Amino acid sequence: MKEKSLTEIWHGPEMESFRREHLAGLQSQCSRSQKDHACHLHHGHLEQYAKFDTSLQYPPIRLDFMVDSFCNLKCVMCTNVLEDNGGYDHDEFWDHCAQHIFPHVKELEIIGGEPFILDNTFRLIDLVTKHNPDCLWRVTTNAHYQFNERFKKAADKMKFESLAVSVDSLKQDTFSQIRAGARLDLVLKTLDDWVDYSQSRPADKPLKIVVNFVIQKDNAYELPSFIDFCLKKSVVPYPILLRDPDDYSIFDWPSDRLLDLFDYLLEHHKAEPHPSLALICHKIFKELPKATQVIRVEKLTRLLAKESQAQST
């Protein structure tokens, strides 16, 4: 980014090679992400604007934008802490994007680090909304700050697809262990402030609040209570299964412990069904040994047969 303009990169040989690989169905660089997260299926709504070819004549229509990896927290599972800080502080980048990139972007996602503690995030918002007020925004935030007038003024300019707030535990001890040194009460207060703000926006500029929950060893059994918390807040629960680093992933557990978690979550789903819980159960089930899967399917089949018979009588 500090050697070439975004346009040069977009039309350069590396990107053409990357597109050629995808068009051939190889995806060697992305195969694990596609398998684990189905990231290639998330943005089908933009296909109407795209032409799939090795060389593209139009600029990017979506940007997944890390202004800087700097963050006010040091979450144990986060790999961004290993990245260099400093961001895109050269004016050539901003001037070029304002003229050639931002006017054409349909959707822009800001991740971090923590974007809302960075001056360049507000610079980005000002530039994009000035040149392209209809751009849709997705923002992920840890909410470990006080919501104030600066946030409101920036958000007023934006057309949101969603705002995702990361809350990885509802227990202070666990929360501060995962998000080192963080205060759960501050995050929940800021979440409430964002929810209140979303309800004050005009009907033609809605703001959907999503709450992320990264499922890992320390919080996996909290998932049902987290979903219940989100439903009471009228926000969208978004559980994410952590796979890397292995030390914190539930998939590092022995199969009998993973099976115990599966059974626990499945019982909660049977008692209070929710699509997010069903999806996580499905993903965990696929990681169980094949023999264990067969035994569980047979058990569930017998159980469903008994329940059906009891209902009919």
Encode pLDDT of 11-31 as tens digits.
Answer: 999 999 989 988 888 777 888
pLDDT tens digit string along 178-201?
998 899 999 999 999 999 999 999
Q: Tokens for 264? A: 């626990």
> 76 pLDDT exceeds 80?
yes
Q: d(Cα 82, Cα 179) in Å, to the nearest integer?
A: 16
Q: d(Cα 24, Cα 32) in Å, to the nearest integer?
A: 17
pLDDT tens digit string along 88-137?
667 788 899 999 999 999 999 998 889 999 999 999 999 999 999 999 99
Does the domain spanning 59-252 belong to CATH 3.20.20.70? yes
- DSSP for 46-84, written as a single string: GGGG---SSS-SSPPSEEEEES----S-EETT-SGGGSP
Query: What is the number of alpha carbons within 13 Å of residue 229 lying toward its C-beta?
Result: 20
**What pLDDT does residue 33 have?**
84
Domain ranges of the chain: 1-52, 59-252, 253-313
Task: Band the pLDDT of 86: cuts 50, 70, 90.
Answer: low
Mean pLDDT of the chain: 91
